[in-house]
Amino acid sequence: VTGSPARMLGIDFSPPLRATDAQLMQRFPLGASVKLAAVYKQGPWWRDLGLQGDILAAAGTPSLPDGTPLFVQCVDHSPFSRRLGVLACFVEGKQNFHLTQLPLSEQRRLLLGFLRLSFNDSRAETYEPQVVSHNWADSPFTRGAYTGYLPPGVMSVPELWAAFKAQEKLPNVFFAGSDYHDGFGNGYIEGAIRSGQQAAALIHARLQGPRLQPA
Ligand SMILES: Cc1cc2nc3c(=O)[nH]c(=O)nc-3n(C[C@H](O)[C@H](O)[C@H](O)COP(=O)(O)OP(=O)(O)OC[C@H]3O[C@@H](n4cnc5c(N)ncnc54)[C@H](O)[C@@H]3O)c2cc1C
């Protein structure tokens, strides 16, 4: 079984998940990340300025009421053909919550203003890009991104940590996925693949041995 921890609690297991596993899943939130992209049909015009299109902002406008910059990181996500120019910005955590409460027209205005400021070029706005966004927390089968994380009070409790490390949650039911990988790559595609391979190996070994009989 794979899926984000938030989703595992929505699956009707029979028999139900053990108490410790259910408690672990309740202590395993996902981050809040939205990807906001400006798509320019004129192509990646910032290349004319000799700029690569990567932006890192530690301060500046627009910002939250406490001064935290709203936009922190953007990358050039244009197709290799450069037929379109795409700037993709990641907005995470409290900035995500702030941004996604705003009307789409306001999100667009803030993003394009930030791009104009970053490149010091009005084409960011006057080229009138299409702005598209995806908030993983909106997806019913995900409910957050980039990954699950364990807040304080989980790894320090031996029973919860043991539950995290056990892939077999119920007899013959194995959890697999990036979030559950115990080792290098947790939270990344590497961990997803390794976790899947490990679950497959455990299942393969089980199939070689005596089977559990259905109740
Ligand atoms: C914006 C973003 C950028 C990222 N960048 C990188 C990167 O640069 N490098 C990197 O290594 N990793 C990156 N990651 C992380 C990487 O994408 C994940 O770690 C990886 O995709 C997780 O794979 P998975 O198979 O564990 O889970 P998922 O890919 O989430 O697969 C789980 C699947 O289960 C489905 N599902 C859930 N519940 C149910 C249900 N009840 N019934 C049926 N289906 C269900 C979901 O729809 C989903 O398709 C990024 C993630 C995001 C969101």
- What are the chain's domains? 5-29+148-208 (3.50.50.60), 33-138 (3.90.660.10)
Task: Confirm or reject: Cβ of 178 under 6 Å from ligand 1.
Answer: yes
**Cβ–Cβ < 8 Å for 194, 185:** yes
* CB of 58 closer than 6 angstroms to any ligand 1 atom: no
Residues 6+ apart with CB under 8 A from 186: 147, 178, 179
What is d(CA 18, CA 203) in angstroms, rounded to the nearest whole number?
20
C-alpha of residue 197 to centroid of ligand 1, in Å: 16
Cα angle at 98 between 137 and 39, to 5 degrees? Answer: 70
186 CB under 6 A from ligand 1? no
The per-residue pLDDT for 211 is 65
Report the nearest-CA residue for atom 28 of ligand 1.
3
What pLDDT does residue 38 have? 98
Contact 144, 33 (CB under 8 A): yes
Residue 212 confidence (pLDDT): 59
- pLDDT, block means (10 residues), the chain with 215 residues: 92 96 96 96 97 93 91 96 97 96 96 96 98 95 93 96 96 96 95 97 91 61
- Cα–Cα distance, 91 to 101 (Å, whole number): 13
